[in-house]
């Protein structure tokens, strides 16, 4: 699908959609719980549906309702499971350890760039713990065997999702376990989200720096009804849009007390000179005197594409460092962000572990590269210039209603199949 977003955004109000990151975790916890759970999650996405589908494959009964999901937990895992993770890295990395803890006999499949995304360290940890995985964890692969309680080591520099998957799977085992993270723990906020989700289901894991003590035989206890948090990751697109508009944009439904790492977007925008206001109505960001900064992306890699748009429209150069993990996302985001900025008339400089942007934007046509965050970031540039995006259907991965919400802020959007 090709989408053209004409210049003319005027600002206004948007309500944040449910957090994809929170929904993944709460669906998994609900599927492992002692009784059914009602999950309040009025909007969904391809990635959330991938997690729900894999959990159904493992034996959970998950019904989509107008308000969210009704989850009846897993009681008996089918003798053989076909588990399709779609293009969702979170689904695969979270649910592989969970499936291993359930002693599932399962075939995992995936699509898009998912088969190329790294899994080596998780493979090493799980096979050392008793799981049997064919093809070196390269999709498609088959899982069998049983995960055993004990000590696990996992690298912290590739993906926090490996650690989160183990944290959700190991409490089911009869014995106590200990996870040691080697090196610097990247995306720490996402691990804190996992610990928060577990605590909401009564699972208490002790953390001491980079060591996590997991009590065995910990029952997941349903809270009955639980609400998915508003999504800072997708709300960031509109907060960044506000930084480009004199009228600003107000995003409702975001909690600054959330463990979501991408709430850091506010601190970055304030450092760049945007005006940030907080009220009972929501969080409002308005244009200020924007200037370039250096952004450490180690804990907020998903913010780089949209912050690059703001950076390209700021005075001076904006540099993103510690962003090497962007190369293993839905696209090589260091390359595709640079391509996006240059296609829109700005300047971009690719580094091995990051990038720099500057120069202003004049408009153009961007290839979405099958990456939802490239598509949505490109559209935000319509605050100052006309933008055409090919492959715009990629927004379905995390935010199917993105263009409809953008139109509420005055965007004139033309779609072509």
Residues assigned a catalytic role: 302
Residue 30 makes CB contacts below 8 A (sequence gap 6+) with: 36, 37, 39, 60, 69, 71, 73, 201, 222, 226
* CA pair distance 366, 340, nearest whole angstrom: 6
* CA pair distance 366, 387, nearest whole angstrom: 7
Long-range CB contacts for residues 133-139, cutoff 8 Å, separation at least 24: 137/96, 139/85, 139/92, 139/108, 139/109, 139/110, 139/114, 139/115
Q: Apex CA 70: angle with CA 66 and CA 74, to 5°? A: 155
Q: How far is CA 417 from the centre of its chain?
A: 27
> Quick one: tokens of 39?
């999950």
Helices (H), 158-264: 160-169, 188-200, 232-242
* CA pair distance 51, 84, nearest whole angstrom: 9
Element (H, E) at 102: none
| CA distances to 22, 70, 404 from 40, in Å | 11, 9, 22
- Please tell me whether residue 55 adopts helix, strand or coil conformation: helix
Tokens 């508003």 identify what position? 230
Instruction: Note whether 113 and 370 are within 8 A (CB).
Output: yes
Q: How far is CA 127 from the centre of its chain?
A: 26
Select from 256, 242, 209, 266 the least CA-distant residue to 409.
Answer: 242
Select from 8, 85, 95, 2 the least CA-distant residue to 383.
Answer: 8
Neighbours of 80 (CB within 10 A): 11
Instruction: Note whether 29 and 197 are within 8 A (CB).
Output: yes
Neighbours of 267 (CB within 10 A): 11
């Amino acid at each position: 699908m090709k989408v053209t977003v004409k210049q003319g955004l005027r600002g206004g109000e948007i309500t944040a959609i449910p957090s994809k990151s929170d929904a993944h975790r709460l669906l998994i916890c609900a599927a492992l719980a002692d009784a059914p759970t009602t999950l309040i999650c009025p909007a969904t996405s391809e990635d959330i549906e991938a997690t729900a589908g894999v959990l159904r494959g493992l034996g959970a009964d998950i019904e989509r309702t107008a308000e969210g999901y009704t989850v009846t937990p897993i009681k008996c895992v089918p003798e053989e499971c076909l588990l399709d993770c779609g293009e969702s890295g979170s689904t695969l990395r979270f649910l592989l350890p969970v499936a291993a803890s359930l002693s599932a006999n399962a075939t995992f499949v995936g699509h898009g760039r998912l088969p190329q995304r790294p899994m080596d360290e998780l493979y090493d940890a799980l096979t050392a713990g008793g799981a049997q995985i064919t093809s070196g964890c390269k999709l498609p692969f088959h899982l069998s065997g049983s995960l055993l309680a004990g000590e696990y080591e996992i690298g912290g520099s590739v993906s926090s999702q490996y650690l989160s998957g183990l944290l959700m799977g190991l409490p089911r085992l009869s014995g106590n376990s200990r996870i040691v993270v080697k090196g610097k723990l990247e995306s720490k906020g996402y691990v804190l989200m996992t610990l928060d989700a577990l605590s909401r289901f009564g699972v208490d894991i002790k953390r001491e720096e980079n060591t996590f003590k997991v009590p065995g035989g910990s029952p997941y206890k349903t809270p009955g009804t639980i609400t998915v948090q508003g999504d800072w990751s997708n709300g960031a697109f509109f907060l960044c849009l506000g930084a480009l508009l004199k009228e600003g944009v107000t995003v409702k439904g975001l909690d600054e007390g959330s463990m979501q790492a991408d709430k850091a977007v506010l601190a970055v925008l304030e450092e760049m000179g945007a005006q940030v206001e907080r009220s009972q109505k929501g969080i409002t960001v308005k244009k200020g005197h924007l200037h370039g900064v250096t952004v450490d992306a180690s804990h907020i890699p998903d913010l780089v594409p949209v912050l690059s748009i703001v950076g390209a429209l700021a005075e001076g150069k904006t540099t993103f460092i510690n962003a090497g993990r962007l190369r293993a996302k839905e696209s090589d985001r260091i390359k595709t962000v640079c391509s996006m900025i240059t296609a829109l008339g700005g300047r971009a400089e690719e580094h091995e572990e990051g990038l720099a942007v500057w120069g202003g934007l004049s408009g153009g046509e961007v290839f979405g590269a099958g990456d939802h965050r490239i598509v949505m970031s490109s559209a935000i540039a319509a605050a100052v210039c006309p933008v055409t995006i090919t492959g715009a259907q990629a927004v379905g991965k995390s935010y199917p209603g993105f263009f409809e919400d953008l139109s509420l802020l005055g965007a004139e959007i033309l779609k072509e199949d």
